[in-house]
Amino acid sequence: MSFLKNHNVTQSSDGGRTIVFVHGYGCDQNMWRYVVPLLFGTGRIVLYDLMGMGKSDAANYDFDRYQSLTGHAEDLVGILDELDAVDAVLVGHSVGGTIAALAAQMVPDRIKALALIAPSPCFINDADYVGGFDLETIEGLIDLMEQNFLGWTSQLVPTITGQKADGLASTELAESFCRANPKISKHFGRVTFLADHREDMSKIHCQTLIVQCSDDALAPLNVGNWLASAIPSSELKVVDATGHCPHMTEPAKTADLLAEFLEALK
């Protein structure tokens, strides 16, 4: 099995360090198109689609394998192996950040650093941890998603983007949700919103950039502060932005932070 083929991997021709972008739930590699051109010249840029998303080979979506985020992390490791990547930087958005973090623990010899964009190891509030939602709300969102996926999309997308429903990012994200196989989207959605990988964050030992939005309903600033405390070699940067997708709504600000981080790694 070729991970590069099955995940629709695309690469820039630039040499240097490998930089792999991992998109979030309901998205595909195309969502990085506002940021990537601003980073040309910083290394070999690699984009791919999570299994079941975008132009990946959805026939290979194994509901048992992807019952946890570990299956997606193992796919990322497979891509890194086929690329023979060394000292790579993984840039992950939202749940893509958790997938990147898990992969970095599996093959630390291949990973130089992580850049986590609007990350959340757990979306559910728990005692002093403020993830953004109580369990009852999450379960309600999942129930709505499973019963009325289009209704769920129209309700949640503006919250994700921080824009009105007819905003550019909202429209694009809604269309992305609608293109995906509903059965896969529902399954991956449940896994995403119920995942709790807080214990894994302290196991990250590479340099890590955390980029959090100043006003994000899905991953509030408390999550960024918690991650900065949990990940040993990390730094938190806050983007003045509303929503959960700064790479789409504030690409220049996001690219500047990524470029500064990459430059400091040299």
Which of 94, 120, 176, 185 is labelled catalytic?
94
Instruction: Please give the radius of gyration of the chain, using alpha carbons only, rounded to the nearest integer.
Output: 17
Which of 7, 72, 197, 244 is labelled catalytic?
244
Return the bridge partners of 11, or none: 46
**Residue 216 falls in the annotated catalytic set:** yes
**Residue 94 falls in the annotated catalytic set:** yes
Beta-sheet pairing, 111-117 with 10-11: unpaired
**Residue 126 falls in the annotated catalytic set:** no
Longest Cα–Cα distance of the chain, Å, equals 49
Phi-psi region of 148 (alpha: psi -120 to 50; beta: other; left: phi over 0): beta
Which of 7, 216, 234, 247 is labelled catalytic?
216
**Catalytic residue IDs:** 94, 216, 244
